[in-house]
Structures are given as structure tokens and as C-alpha cells.
């Protein structure tokens, strides 16, 4: 194997390990959020529809009331073509409010919680398996 091929293989192994590590860290953070956060129902206040590659896609915004009385909005992280909540409908939100720290909130759907960690873990695992010839 030439030195260029060896360097490329080493780079891909490091990149795969980084994706695996990031995916694992993100999954652990999501599990911690699930354990610590309060589950609340929040109202969908707006949406944005568009067509991409012939499919109708949609982002939506949710109004989340904080314990201080303040109202903040979350935007869905993924454009969904299925399971679209309508404006005015209530969806689950994970809310974590801690003294002296800004609140954390995340939409509680499986897609919003687990697509990013699963994608990073899958890419890292597949890359590592290909690089190591498994």
C-alpha cells in the first residue's frame, strides 16, 4: 500500500472514530435530557410548507411557556412529510429549567431526538467497518 493510500485510510479511520464518538456523546446527552426534563404539551403556532424533490415538506414552530411566564418558540429540526401536527395542535416538548442557567427545550418526537445520533453512529460504524475491512 502506498503512503498516500495509508494516509487516506488513517484519515478515514480517524474521521469514522470521530463520528462514532460524536454520535455516542449526543445519544448520552439525549438520554440525560429524557431523564431530567419535564414533559409538557405545547401548541404548534405556525408552519412553513415547501416542495423539495417533488415531496411536500413542512417545518413547524411550537410556543413553549417557561416557569417565568416567558413564551419561547422552538422550530422543528427536520422537515417532515409525514406525521405533521396542525397549527393549534399540541405536541410533546422536553423542557429543562435550571436555576442560573438558560432553559433547554427540545421537541419530544422520536425523529427530533434520535435521527442525529443514529446517523452519526451509523456513518461512523460503517466507515470504520469499511476501513478495517470487516
In the chain, the percentage of residues whose pLDDT exceeds 90 is 44
Using CA atoms, how far apart are residues 98 and 37, in angstroms rounded to an integer? 10
Cβ-count burial of 96 within 10 angstroms (0-12 exposed, 13-18 middle, 19+ buried)? Answer: middle
Q: What are phi and psi of 78, to 5 degrees?
A: -130, 140
**17 pLDDT higher than 80:** yes
- pLDDT at site 83: 65
Model confidence, pTM: 0.79
Name the range with the highest mean pLDDT among 40-49, 53-62, 115-124: 115-124
The candidate with the shortest Cα–Cα distance to 69, out of 100, 88, 90, 97, is 97
Nearest to 64, CA basis, from 29, 94, 27, 34: 94
DSSP codes joined into one string, 72-106: EEEE-SS-BSSS-PPTT-EEEEEEE--TTS--EEE
**What are 64-110's pLDDT values in tens digits?**
999 888 898 888 877 665 667 888 999 999 999 988 888 888 888 88
Tell me how far apart the 2 most distant CA atoms of the chain are, in Å.
64
Flag whether pLDDT at 112 surpasses 70. yes
Higher pLDDT, 48 or 20: 20
Amino acid at each position: 500500500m502506498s503512503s498516500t493510500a495509508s494516509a487516506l485510510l488513517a484519515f478515514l479511520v480517524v474521521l469514522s472514530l470521530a463520528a462514532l464518538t460524536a454520535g455516542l456523546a449526543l445519544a448520552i446527552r439525549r438520554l440525560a435530557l429524557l431523564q431530567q426534563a419535564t414533559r409538557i404539551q405545547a401548541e404548534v403556532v405556525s408552519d412553513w410548507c415547501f416542495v423539495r424533490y417533488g415531496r411536500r415538506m413542512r417545518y413547524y414552530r411550537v410556543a413553549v411557556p417557561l416557569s417565568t411566564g416567558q413564551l419561547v418558540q422552538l422550530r422543528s429540526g427536520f422537515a417532515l412529510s409525514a406525521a405533521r401536527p396542525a397549527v393549534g395542535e399540541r405536541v410533546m416538548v422536553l423542557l429543562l429549567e435550571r436555576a442560573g442557567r438558560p432553559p433547554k427545550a427540545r421537541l419530544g418526537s422520536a425523529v427530533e431526538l434520535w435521527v442525529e445520533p443514529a446517523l452519526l453512529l451509523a456513518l461512523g460504524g460503517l466507515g470504520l467497518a469499511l476501513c478495517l475491512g470487516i
